[in-house]
Amino acid sequence: MTRAMSARLTAGAPAFWPALALSDIVAAILLVLLTTAPLTAQQIPAPRLDGAEPAVRQRLASLQADLRADPGNGDAWGRYGMVLEAHTFTDEAIAAYGRGHELSPGTFRWPYLLAALIDERSAADSLQFYRAALALDADYAPARVRFAEALERTGQFDAANREYAQAARLDPANAHAHAGLGRLALAAGDSDAAIRHLSRARDLAAENRSFAVTLAQAYARAGDRERGQQIATAARSLGRINYRDDPIRSSVHDLALDARSYLRRANAHRVHGELDLARRELRAGIDVDASRPELHFALAEVLAAAGDPAGSLAAAHRASELHPELEGVAPFLARALFQTGDLSGALAKAEEALRLDASDVSMMLLVALVSAERGDVVRTVDVLDRAYRERPQDPPTRDGLIQLLTNVGEAMVSSGLPDAAAGQFRKALDLAEEAGSPEAAGLRRRLAQVRR
């Protein structure tokens, strides 16, 4: 327990633990575990709920009623802790898990969830609860890995190493166990062992950025900066959130009922390509709070990916109504409307998107396409020139611009305007050369022909 924690009084703490800091809470939990004095129903930890969403209030009230009816039910206390934790009421959740552990001493998940929550504030204080959990189920590898990580955080590297190794034996596919072994090897200066373990972790969880960047660093330490740089560059495309295969901990977060939690869960499903599950979460979130534009927009994206353009368009329109400047909505709608053939609508949304972000080349291309479709050559050329001056870097947009400039150039040749056409080919060639594109050679030849 740190001095900083132990010295602080917490008058804002829940009624169950009046004026207590974490150290006091942990001490009290221990006291509870060592005594048999029953707690009364009035001592149910109740978080501050002003401003909380109705669904959350109702769920907590319901669970509190269950506890008042059956205060000796350890599993009810634990379930209450899970719902509290799911909504980040951490102190109250710690208290509830502690009570659940006391009343149901044979249940693995209550000391495990208690340990994991305390671990967020003090790894040293979490160790005893990890040990208690592992005494009940020594074979749950995710718990053993978390225990090892807590040992590592407290500087007990040898013990951590043993626990990681044990976890890897229990579950050879547990990437976090192999990563822990690699991390300890890297810190000990054994780059070769670090590369071996971290490579295994990365093979098991290719989407995990943390494993990749640590592996890149291990290669750099070993003197192979080139290989390290390759891995680091590839890791840039990975998300910052690393998911763990830990069904017990995941089941906590599934209980969150506030609108943003639905969005968070939906995004997790999207990462794994689970579009039906993502859609279900988003619809449930909208049922909770239909005023959140980000939920509607996420639903629009999911429906588009799932092949429901009409539903997608409706959801995007709703998001735009709620927050016209929500990032990405206007371009999304512009593209969607263009695909449905609503050129006027697409043009209006593209112009709206450009008002919000004047450098969005993809929207310039859309305006150019619609203008060309309508025979508005002057506007087409003008907007393509603007796009050219932006020098787009992402390949699809750049390639699209090169193609459009080329098409306009050909149209100008057909119309007997070789000088104007040469200007378009010149711009296309500039972009192709800058990108090192193989199209550059063809464009160079075409430009020479047009000039002749």
Partner 1 sequence: MAPAEAPGAGPEATPAVRFVDVTAESGIDHVLPSGTDSTYPMPAVMGGGLAVFDADGDGDLDLYVVAPAAGGNRFYVQHDAGHFTDATTAAGLEGDGMGCAVGDLDNDGDLDLYVTRVGPDRLFLNDGKGVFADRSAAWNAAVPGWSSSAALLDYDRDGYLDLYVARYVAFDPARVCSQHGGRRDFCGPTEFEGLSDVLLHNLGGNGFEDVSAAAGITAVADAGLGVVAADFDHDGEVDIYVANDADPNNLWTHQGGGRFLDDGVLQGSAFNRWGNSEAGMGIATGDADLDLDLDLFVTHLITETNTYYRNLMLPGFEDATIDTELGAASLDLTGFGTAFFDADNDGDLDLAVANGAVKRRPSALATPGGVDAPPAFWSEYAEPNLLLVNDEGRFADASAQRPWTELGLSRALVPADLDRDGDLDLVIANLDGAPRILRNLTIDAGAASDEPTVANWLRVRAFDPRLDREAIGARITVRTPDGPRLLHALPPGSYLSAGPATAHLGLGAAESVESFDVVWPDGLVESFDGAAANQVVTLVRGEDH
Q: Which listed range, 1-9, 99-107, 299-307, 438-446, lies at the site for partner 1 (CB under 8 A)?
A: 1-9
Nearer of residues 55 and 343 to partner 1, judged by Cβ: 55
Judged by CB under 8 A, the residue of 246, 258, 281, 360 near partner 1 is 258
The amino acid that residue 235 corresponds to is A
Tell me how many residues contact partner 1 (CB under 8 A).
68
Q: At 379, which amino acid appears?
A: R
Q: Which stretch binds partner 1 (CB under 8 A): 118-126, 138-146, 279-287, 365-373?
A: 118-126
CB of 452 to partner 1, least distance (A): 37
Helix axes 395-414, 439-451, angle to 10 degrees: 20
Contact status, residue 350 vs residue 368, Cβ threshold 8 Å? no
Residue 147, CB-side half-sphere exposure with 13 Å CA sphere:
27
CA distance 281 to 272: 14
Within positions 377 to 416, which residues make up the interface with partner 1, using CB under 8 A? none
DSSP state of 232: H
Distance separating the N- and C-terminal Cα atoms of the chain: 83
Residue 53 vs 439, nearer CB to partner 1:
53
Site residues for partner 1, 123-162, by CB under 8 A, read 123-124, 152-155
> Cβ of residue 124: shortest distance to partner 1, in angstroms?
7
As given in the structure block, the two tokens for residue 207 are: 């989407």
The residue within the footprint of partner 1, chosen from 253, 260, 280, 283 (CB under 8 A), is: 260
**CA 367/CA 360 separation, integer angstroms:** 11
Residues 6 or more apart whose CB falls under 8 angstroms from that of 280 comprise none
Tell me which of 32, 44, 45, 47 binds partner 1, using CB under 8 A. Answer: 47
Angstrom distance (rounded) from CA 75 to CA 97? 9
- Angle in degrees, CA 219, 160, 109, rounded to 5: 120
Among residues 26, 96, 150, 235, the one that binds partner 1 under rule CB under 8 A: 235
Q: Which of residues 55-114 bind partner 1 (CB under 8 A)?
A: 56-57, 60, 87-91
**7 CB contacts (<8 Å, ≥6 apart)?**
21
Q: How far is the CB of 344 from partner 1 (least distance, A)?
A: 27
| Cβ–Cβ < 8 Å for 370, 404 | no
Place of tokens 């990975």: 238
The residue from 42, 62, 229, 339 that contacts partner 1 (CB under 8 A) is 229
What is the C-alpha separation between 180 and 168, in angstroms, rounded? 10
> Can you give the length of the chain in residues?
452
For partner 1, which residue of 36, 51, 237, 452 counts as binding (CB under 8 A)? Answer: 51
Residue 187, interface with partner 1 (CB under 8 A)? yes
Q: Confirm if 78 and 113 have CB atoms less than 8 A apart.
A: yes
CB of 114 to partner 1, least distance (A): 14
Q: Give the nearest distance from C-beta 80 to partner 1 in angstroms.
A: 14
Rule CB under 8 A: is residue 115 a binding residue for partner 1? no
Which CB atom, from 195 or from 370, has the smaller least distance to partner 1? 195
- What residues contact residue 106 under an 8 Å CB cut-off, 6+ apart? 136
- Write down the least CB distance from residue 20 to partner 1, Å: 8
Give the Cα separation of 146 and 166 in Å (integer).
12
Q: Does residue 179 interact with partner 1 by CB under 8 A?
A: yes
Q: Which of 12, 106, 396, 416 binds partner 1 (CB under 8 A)?
A: 12
* Contacts with partner 1, residue ranges (CB under 8 A): 2-5, 7-14, 21-22, 47-53, 56-57, 60, 87-91, 120-124, 152-155, 179, 183, 187, 209-214, 216-217, 220-221, 225, 228-229, 232, 235, 240, 242, 257-260, 289, 292, 323, 325-327
